Structure formats: C-alpha cells, structure tokens
Structure 1
C-alpha cells in the first residue's frame, strides 16, 4: 500500500519534534520578562498624540493667515463705490439685457395694437397700457436707485423681474384679446344660424 503525501510529511522530521515539557519555572521567567518590557517603550512609530498636535497647529496657522488677510484689506468706502456704479451703467451686458427685454415688450405691444380692432379689445389694450405705465415708473425708480446706491444684486433682480412682469402682462393681454375675438366670432356665427 502506498502512503499518502501527508503521512510522508510527518515521517521526514520524525525525531526532530520538540516533545519535552517546559521547565517548572517557565511561567515565572516569562512574567519577569513581561514586566521588564512593560517599563520600556517598544513602540517604534510616532507618538499617538503627535497627529492631533500637528492638526491643531495647522488649523491655527490657517486661521491666523485668514485673519491677517481679512484685516489687511480695507472695507470699501462710498467713494470707491461710485466708479462701480458708472461701470454698471456702461456695462455692455446690462445694456444688452435692457435692449433684449425692451425689444420683447415692443414686439408684444405691436401685436396687441394690430389685434385691438374692436371696442372690447381696445378697452383691454388701454387698461394694459395704464398698467405698463405704472410698471415703467417703478422701473425708472429702480434705475435711479441704482445710480444713487450702486450695484446691488437685489436691485438688478428687481429690475429684471419688472421686465419679466411687463412681458407676462402683455402676453396675458394678447391671450385675452384672442379669446375675446374668438368668443365674438362664435356668438356672431350662432346669431347667423339663428337668423336662418
């Protein structure tokens, strides 16, 4: 019969196994060595608190740097704000935006004037023109405030919202005119059918 490879592994080192029992004072010697090592540090890496210390120091350096930058920059004075206001007024982007919205308003007004050919539609158009005049006055006040106080995101947002509101108003007026015309046409057709 042939032996398994595992049996061969254990047959080769036969007689070389340590089968002796430890000495009686083995435990005492081990405890002495253990207590002797406990008094000395055997750790070879950096101390545990070194990373914490370094992170606190780095945070302080960053905070001191930011504080130095913030307190060295002087706050803008009202005199410094004046050139910015002129810059906004001559800002080509702002002028393009105003031109864009103004042209949309003109187009919508032209459509309304072309379609306001009856008494009812002219009344709707006149009411819309009154409301547009009020919104135009509000916009002029916003422009004056921009010239007085300078750049403000809230102010620019209010100006754009004013334009958008005017355009929405004109679109709604155009829808009302179209609905009025359609309703008038339906009533005329029904009257004609009744006459026949």
Structure 2
C-alpha cells in the first residue's frame, strides 16, 4: 500500500519538477547574497595576469639552465680534481681515451648486417666499463686508496682496449668466412 502512495506522489510531482539548468553565474550570485546576509565581505576573483605566466615560464627555463651548467661544471671539476691528485693519471686517461676513441671509430666503420649485433653488444659493454670508470674517479676524489684506485682505472682502460681488439679480430674472422663462402659459391 505504501508503494502505491509513493508512486502516486511521484506521478503528481512529475509535472511540477523543474528540469531547467540555472543561468550562468548563478552559484556566484547565490554565494554573494548569502555572504551579504551574514555580513561577510567577498573578495573579488583574481584576474589572471598574462605576464605572470610568462615570468613563471622564464623562471623555470632559468632554473633548468643553471642546473645543467652546474652539472657540466661538476663533471669538469672531477677531471680537474683527478688531475690534481695524480697528474700522471690525467695524462694516462688522455692517452687511453684517444686510443679507445680511434678503435671505436674503426669498429663503427666495420658495421654491417653480419657484425651489427656484436658491435652493439660491444658498445653496451663499453658503456658499463665507462660507468665503472666514472665511479672509480669519484672514489678517487672522495679520498679512497689512491694507488689501488689508479691501478683499477688503468685496468679498466686496458680491459676496454682488449675488448675492442678482440671484437676487431672476430669481425675480421666474420669477413673472411663470408669472403670464403662467396668464393665457394661463384657461378
């Protein structure tokens, strides 16, 4: 019986319910009237200043640039600190770095579909060895055992050179096998 009464009530009220949306700014006007009746002063809404947006973007760019410059100076300062701790290490680093760079250029010149995988794997190993070297540099600057760290740094360079030499031998073997296979299949 209660269910019937509720349905009748809804049927009667259905024609009287207003479905229209309030006009634009209705909520703001309502809040202003409510605040006036309570004696509360309202603050004017903040106007967006286009200069503030421009200044905030400019400040963000300035911060990013200063962080980037700081990072570059830190990298250079580590090299300078290593040179101060051991001038011989700096000279050795320069020599080995040039030698490794030459071998990497030679390795990249040998890139072909047959050697691409071995070259990519070698480059990944060289990146790992470079990260280890950077860690050793930082340890040296932080005051670790100088002789031991310098020895490990030289070993790191030698390992990279040995790796590059070994890969070059493997590439030469691949080229000779390919050449012999091509000679066997001549028409």
Q: Provide TM-score, normalisation by structure 2.
A: 0.54
The superposition leaves residues 19-56 of structure 1 with CA deviations (integer Å, 9 ceiling, x where unpaired) of xxxxxxxxxxxxxxxxxxxxxxxxxxxxxxxxxxxxxx
RMSD of equivalent CA atoms:
1.9
Query: Which residue matches 1:6?
Result: none
Q: Structure 2 stretches of 5 or more lacking a match?
A: 1-79
Between 1 and 2, higher relative CO (CA 8 Å, sep ≥ 6) is seen in: 1
**1:128 matched to 2:96:** no
Is residue 135–residue 166 contact of structure 1 (8 Å, CA) maintained in 2? yes
Which one of the candidate residues 142, 154, 157 is aligned to 2:148? 154
Q: Give the Cα–Cα distance (whole angstroms) in 2 for the partners of residues 100 and 133 of structure 1.
A: 18
Which one of the candidate residues 172, 177, 183 is aligned to 2:177? 183
Q: Give the Cα–Cα distance (whole angstroms) in 1 for the partners of residues 92 and 171 of structure 2.
A: 28
Q: Give the Cα–Cα distance (whole angstroms) in 2 for the partners of residues 87 and 174 of structure 1.
A: 31
- Stretches (4+) displaced over 6 A: none
Is residue 133–residue 153 contact of structure 2 (8 Å, CA) maintained in 1? yes
Q: Provide TM-score, normalisation by structure 1.
A: 0.51
Which one of the candidate residues 59, 68, 88 is aligned to 1:93? 88
Query: Which residue matches 1:168?
Result: 162
Offset at residue 162 of structure 1 (A): 0.2
DSSP 3-state at the match of 1:160: helix
State how many pairs are aligned: 108
Offset at residue 191 of structure 1 (A): 1.3
Change (3 A) 1:170 1:190: same
Offset at residue 92 of structure 1 (A): 3.1
Q: Give the Cα–Cα distance (whole angstroms) in 1 for the partners of residues 94 and 182 of structure 2.
A: 42
